[in-house]
A and B are shown apart, each in its own frame.
Chain A
Amino acid sequence: MKTVEKVVNPVRRRGEQSPSRIYDEKLKVRARREWRGVKDTLYDYTRWLYQVYVIGKFILLPRNVKGFFRYRWMMSYLFVMHGMDKFTIGLRDEALRITHTAMNFVIADVTQAIANCFRGDRRVGNDKAYSDKCVITDENSMVTFMMGFDTQKVHTILREVPTMFASNIFHQFNVMHYLDIAQQYGIPGDVCPMPEAEAGISIEDDFCVLGSCAVQNNTTCDGSLMGNGIIAKRLEREYGIPTFQLATPLRHKEPDVMEYAAEEIRKAIAFVEEHTGEKWDWDVYFRAAKRVNDATRCRIAQMEINSTPYPQFFGAVFSLYNDTNYMGNSGRNADFVAIDHKLLELAEKGYREKRMYAKEYRHRCIVWGVQPQYVIDMLYWMVQCWGVVPLADMLSIINTDMIAEEDTPENREQAYRDMAMLNMEMIMRNHTHGGYKVLLDDLWDLCEKMNADIVMMWEHMSCKALTGMHGMFEEQARERGIHIMWVSHDLCDPRVFTRQAIRDQVNSYMRTVMREEPLDPALEIIPDNEAY
């Protein structure tokens, strides 16, 4: 079997040596925050103050208070700082700064998304003029078709992000209510709980209602198609919000699908123009295209650093930041550029100074499949407890090609193909659909490039896209001498696999197959199953 060289951190960690003492089974949150030495604790404290400021500013607006008491999912946002604590276990130096820089920006972005939802919501802010310029899109959707609309004139509302996706990260139980509602109405429990919860939110009438129109995407699975149908029915029939179905080819590696995909983008743009009364602006588009290319270059550079013995920016935060920037932003918001470069600067500094997340790196790991929302700190735990470094995850392995960024007549035609390509190469769809080449071959290429000796396969119980491939993964990993560690979960439903049940799968693999002892035995069992 393949082995990699062990890397030992020459520097002793400042502050407490094990983060295990911050957990308390009697509490729903951490017992206290981690002591990281004076400098890093003070840094963490100032970032906490910043989060208090962001949330305080949000709650000062009366309509946001009204929205808070109207929508059940808002309860999750009581636990934003608890969510941040999940991302920072054991972190010091650049790793801590990278995590805060990325996540503070994501939190501010999601807070703004909620404020925008409440402003236009017919039940809360009811700002009709604003709502008439809003376009609702799916949570799991590229917004390339909005790249040419001025963000001051047309507002893209990813309504499901704050309602379901982000809220589940901060509060592991908050989605269960919506899953129960969906199942009470006869929806089977074996579909992906993410679209099922979104369907449950719609059935419960717990989505904000706003927008002149909506654009839905055939994302990645039976569950999302089912959920979209239920949501679109309520949007169109009850609230009179016309909904466009952006049907994207799933065989996205086949060149003959391109013209059809580009045509779908043209139709989506025409639909938005018709319902918002605003026109597509090529100057706006090409400025956004430049920012998309810039973000791509930064992401490639981050991945190159991760291919060295001293990776810097990885784990759930890398994935969530890419999710927000690549899919939810798609070059529209200029503020992401400075953050991308700041993150890269921090990573480069961390690499130069050989900073490490833990006292030892024993294995280099590629994380494949979809991570569970409710145990979002899993990859950081894996580094701290077992010294297994998650160099890259499937959701962050996205487009690396540059798109046309100069405004010429030829490039205006090319732009439709570029938008279509980005849309087809959307997070998750680009690997879960498109055949075994994108799901298997890409994985082995990545293992080679990143010098990985372990693949951690997230086995999402309700994901049918990956189920049929189990045997092929096993067989091909064996041929290549790569360890493959299957870890089952149910994405948003902690009743199926608890947090500890998920960690135990890694514990038993590391002990029985790898015959190793943990780096930090106190972290092997953490009493956080009942914590938010």
Chain B
Amino acid sequence: MKKISALALKILLGIVLGALGFFVVTFIIYFFNLDMKATSMLAPFLEKWFDKMDRKQYL
């Protein structure tokens, strides 16, 4: 019984720590706008990619 309780406690602790870790990491990304800062660094490379692409321009 004690073993089961200890295991349940460990699982619960794991879930709580996991959720807390998820919250801390995602909240830092959210608050310091790291998501948008990362994508804004990506944008110039994508622009070059699209500039190089062949297009069938037609009017």
Decide if A79 is an interface residue (CB 8 Å cutoff): yes
Decide if B1 is an interface residue (CB 8 Å cutoff): no
Decide if A489 is an interface residue (CB 8 Å cutoff): no
Asked if A69 and B43 sit within 8 Å, CB to CB, the answer is no
From known contacts A33-B31, A72-B50, infer whether A79 and B39 are also in contact, taking CB-CB under 8 Å. Answer: yes
> What is the CA–CA distance of A434 and B22 in the complex, to the nearest angstrom?
56
As a 0/1 sequence over residues 28 to 59 of chain B, the CB contacts with chain A under 8 angstroms (1 = contact) are 00111101110110110011011000011111
Residues of B within 8 A of A82 (CB): 36
Asked if B35 and A81 sit within 8 Å, CB to CB, the answer is yes
Q: Which residue of A lies closest to B39 (CB)?
A: A78
Asked if B46 and A75 sit within 8 Å, CB to CB, the answer is yes
From known contacts A32-B32, A69-B49, A75-B47, infer whether A181 and B27 are also in contact, taking CB-CB under 8 Å. Answer: no
> What is the CA–CA distance of A234 and B59 in the complex, to the nearest angstrom?
8
Chain A, range 2-54, C-beta contacts under 8 Å to B: 27-33, 41, 45, 48-49, 52
Asked if A28 and B43 sit within 8 Å, CB to CB, the answer is yes
From known contacts A33-B30, A78-B43, infer whether A27 and B58 are also in contact, taking CB-CB under 8 Å. Answer: no
Chain B, range 2-40, C-beta contacts under 8 Å to A: 26-27, 30-33, 35-37, 39-40
Chain A, range 90-115, C-beta contacts under 8 Å to B: none
> What is the CA–CA distance of A185 and B59 in the complex, to the nearest angstrom?
7
What's the least CB distance linking A178 to chain B, in Å? 11
> What is the CA–CA distance of A49 and B25 in the complex, to the nearest angstrom?
12
Residues of B within 8 A of A205 (CB): 55-58
Which residue from B36, B57, B58, B59 sits with its C-beta under 8 Å from A29? B36
Residues of A within 8 A of B35 (CB): 52, 81
> What is the CA–CA distance of A52 and B36 in the complex, to the nearest angstrom?
11
What's the least CB distance linking B51 to chain A, in Å? 9
Q: Which of A27, A29, A30, A33 has the most CB of B within 10 A?
A: A29
Residues of A within 8 A of B43 (CB): 28, 75, 78, 532
Residues of A within 8 A of B37 (CB): 27, 29
Residues of A within 8 A of B42 (CB): 78
Asked if A238 and B33 sit within 8 Å, CB to CB, the answer is no
> What is the CA–CA distance of A82 and B56 in the complex, to the nearest angstrom?
32
From known contacts A32-B32, A33-B31, A69-B49, infer whether A532 and B40 are also in contact, taking CB-CB under 8 Å. Answer: yes
Asked if B33 and A33 sit within 8 Å, CB to CB, the answer is yes
Residues of A within 8 A of B47 (CB): 75
What's the least CB distance linking B56 to chain A, in Å? 5
Chain A, range 167-202, C-beta contacts under 8 Å to B: 181, 185-186
From known contacts A27-B40, A69-B49, A79-B39, infer whether A204 and B31 are also in contact, taking CB-CB under 8 Å. Answer: no
> What is the CA–CA distance of A31 and B32 in the complex, to the nearest angstrom?
7
From known contacts A28-B40, A32-B31, A81-B36, infer whether A204 and B49 are also in contact, taking CB-CB under 8 Å. Answer: no
Asked if A203 and B59 sit within 8 Å, CB to CB, the answer is yes
> What is the CA–CA distance of A203 and B58 in the complex, to the nearest angstrom?
5
> What is the CA–CA distance of A52 and B26 in the complex, to the nearest angstrom?
10
Asked if B30 and A29 sit within 8 Å, CB to CB, the answer is no
> What is the CA–CA distance of A71 and B44 in the complex, to the nearest angstrom?
15
Asked if B30 and A45 sit within 8 Å, CB to CB, the answer is yes
Decide if A345 is an interface residue (CB 8 Å cutoff): no
Residues of B within 8 A of A79 (CB): 36, 39-40
Decide if A456 is an interface residue (CB 8 Å cutoff): no
From known contacts A30-B33, A33-B31, A75-B46, infer whether A204 and B40 are also in contact, taking CB-CB under 8 Å. Answer: no
Decide if A230 is an interface residue (CB 8 Å cutoff): yes
Asked if B55 and A204 sit within 8 Å, CB to CB, the answer is yes
> What is the CA–CA distance of A109 and B24 in the complex, to the nearest angstrom?
30
Residues of A within 8 A of B26 (CB): 45, 49
Sampled A-B contacts (27; CB under 8 Å) = A27-B40, A29-B33, A29-B36, A29-B39, A30-B33, A30-B36, A31-B33, A32-B31, A32-B32, A33-B33, A41-B31, A45-B26, A45-B30, A48-B30, A52-B35, A75-B43, A75-B47, A78-B39, A78-B43, A81-B35, A82-B36, A85-B33, A85-B36, A181-B57, A185-B59, A203-B59, A206-B55
Give residues in B with beta carbon < 8 Å to A.
26-27, 30-33, 35-37, 39-40, 42-43, 46-47, 49-50, 55-59
Give residues in A with beta carbon < 8 Å to B.
27-33, 41, 45, 48-49, 52, 69, 72, 75, 78-79, 81-82, 85, 181, 185-186, 203-206, 230, 234, 238, 532
Apart from A29-B39, A206-B55, A230-B59, what 14 extra A-B contacts exist at CB < 8 Å?
A27-B40, A29-B40, A30-B33, A33-B31, A45-B26, A45-B27, A45-B30, A78-B39, A78-B40, A78-B43, A79-B40, A203-B57, A203-B58, A203-B59
